[in-house]
A and B are shown apart, each in its own frame.
Chain A
Amino acid sequence: SQKIEQNSEALNIQEGKTATLTCNYTNYSPAYLQWYRQDPGRGPVFLLLIRENEKEKRKERLKVTFDTTLKQSLFHITASQPADSATYLCAYASGGSYIPTFGRGTSLIVHP
């Protein structure tokens, strides 16, 4: 069955640097991948979607890429700020129900 994998280790970076988070899937290409932000004790908040026929999407300081050869999506935050510290979840959806299936997320900590 399809699995989605995110680095379980927290990513620590300095303010102003670019944070890059990885999401790998194991089998078939999903119809699309979504990225969400989750703060402690809160529900996830949707950030971006990228479809399998798209290579890159941008929104303000956020950029997502989708490489079907590597079976991987990268999520970048440029000019990172301490307020960007949170857990970032990757989710895939495929044909049929299109109900998102989530990875366990990667914690990002931006140090001032």
Chain B
Amino acid sequence: EADIYQTPRYLVIGTGKKITLECSQTMGHDKMYWYQQDPGMELHLIHYSYGVNSTEKGDLSSESTVSRIRTEHFPLTLESARPSHTSQYLCASSETGSPTGELFFGEGSRLTVL
């Protein structure tokens, strides 16, 4: 079982609120990722990190921001949530040099913005 945790699992908030989705992993992985997934659709990469103090934007434009101050922690922040941000957010990590390139995913955070 993967040691990667996301909180909250479910969040319903009003428009304009600031939210932070937490992601932590205890595997010591250097690489971490945030994907966004709508029902029946692909996972879209929105942010990734190669290690501490490294953050990059993914293929899908997102108004969210991320930080990587500690290896195990990769939070995602939305400064002002809007209904268009309603989605499932999945955090993942992987080991540099892994022979399979396997991504370990958290359970996801389902965000609903009213």
Contacts and interface: CB of A to CB of B under 8 A. Distances in A.
Contact of A93 (B40, B101, B105): B101
B48 interface: yes
Given A101-B45, A102-B43, A104-B40, A43 B108 contact: yes
Nearest to B58: A99
A90 B104 CA distance: 15
A42 B35 CA distance: 13
* Majority DSSP secondary structure for residues of B touching A: loop
B41 A46 contact: no
Given A41-B108, A44-B105, A99 B48 contact: yes
Interface in B26-66: 33, 35, 40-43, 45, 48, 58-59
Given A42-B107, A101-B59, A34 B102 contact: yes
Contacts of B90: 43-44
Interface in B66-105: 90, 92, 100-105
B103 A100 contact: yes
Interface residues of A, number: 21
Contacts, number: 50
Interface string A29-59: 0001010100001111110010000000000
Interface in A3-52: 8, 32, 34, 36, 41-46, 49
A33 B110 CA distance: 27
Contact of B92 (A43, A93, A98, A103): A43
Interface of B: 2, 33, 35, 40-43, 45, 48, 58-59, 90, 92, 100-108, 110
29 contacts: A8-B40, A32-B101, A34-B100, A34-B101, A34-B102, A36-B103, A41-B107, A41-B110, A42-B107, A43-B2, A43-B90, A43-B105, A43-B108, A44-B90, A45-B105, A46-B102, A49-B101, A49-B102, A89-B43, A93-B101, A98-B101, A99-B45, A99-B48, A99-B58, A100-B103, A101-B45, A103-B42, A104-B40, A104-B41
